[in-house]
Amino acid sequence: MSNGNARTWHASDGLIARYADGSLPEPDAWSLEKHLEGCAGCAARVSRAVHGTAAGAVLAQVRESVLAAAPPVLKQVAPEAPPAPAPPRLARLLWAVGPAVRGAWLPAVLLVAVGAMALGYGGGFPDARALLLAIAPVVPVAGVALSYGPHADPLYEVVAATPAGGLRLALTRTAAVLGVSLPLLTVAGLLLPASGAPAAAAWLLPGLALTLGSLALASFVGCRTASGVTAGGWLCAVLAPVSAAPADGAGARLAEQLSRCLDGTGTQGAWAAAAALSAALLVARRPAYDRLIRS
């Protein structure tokens, strides 16, 4: 591939020639075809190259035969077949984020938010916000695990070999997961009575840190294993002390433990540092996502 500038690239003449004569390896051909979706210049060059091959001559003969047998009006309206237009940018974006906003995960987020509201107001459970804050940080972690990998995308191996695959695709789906779960769960927390629990937005930095940490760890062990480790670690840290409390004091003990884990400038600063370190490790481990096929 030859670089057009710092932000785009264009296919080299040699690459196009190998694609036209069928000698280009499949992963490189998939990468080039993905690029052609958004680059009219390279698409025109590939079209000219294919027309110059034996296959191009055969295709031209087939086209002439079809037009010769077609009604005159068709010959007038279709003198030359235009190149196929690239899919709209919005369509490509929706395809990229698809597994992150469909299937069982989105209803699960809604169930968590609505369930907390039902407990707080319909069930008379005063510690509903504390319970929501205990679960909220692991919701985006679970969403990322369910939206990226062979289990989430039937064409995962094909997509992973294109410029749209790898870490770029993982981050696109992570952004979709966060874009849905953060506002829903935060608004639900705001609507619930505090009852000694931390603020409704106190989980945002921990949730971001756990999600980035899960992505970084996934470059070593795979998405679902990494998500299980980070989510399980958080739940153990928050819920283990509560299990030793008496039944009538479990809610207060949970709110107290959450205050230790979420409240305070120092605690939030530590979560911000953890998020930054996880992001740095993720950038350093970016090449691992090009060959990440484990779930």
Q: Which has the higher per-residue pLDDT, 235 or 38? A: 235
Most confident residue range from 61-65, 148-152, 212-216: 212-216
Encoded amino acid at 108, one letter:
A
Q: Which range among 13-17, 24-28, 139-143, 262-266 shows the weakest confidence by mean pLDDT?
A: 24-28
Mean pLDDT, rounded, for 160-187 = 80
Average pLDDT over residues 26-33: 76
| Residue 5: predicted pLDDT | 42
Residues 123 and 117: their CA atoms lie apart, in Å, by 9
- Label residue 7 by pLDDT band (50, 70, 90): very low
What does DSSP assign to residue 294?
Answer: -
Highest mean pLDDT among 48-62, 72-86, 94-108, 206-220: 206-220
Domain boundaries, the chain: 2-77, 89-291
Are residues 90 and 38 in contact, defined by beta-carbon separation less than 8 angstroms?
A: no
Strand, helix or coil for residue 129:
helix
For 52, 168, 182, 287, the CA distances from 282, given in Å and listed in that order, are 45, 11, 21, 10
Whole-angstrom Cα distance, residue 282 to residue 292? 13
Mean pLDDT in residue range 189-216:
93
Mark 57-91 as b/e (b = at least 16 C-beta within 10 Å): eeeeeeeeeeeeeeeeeeeeeeeeeeeeeeeeeee
Q: Is the pLDDT of residue 196 over 90?
A: no
Nearest CA to 165 out of 264, 50, 30 is that of 30
Q: pTM for this structure?
A: 0.67
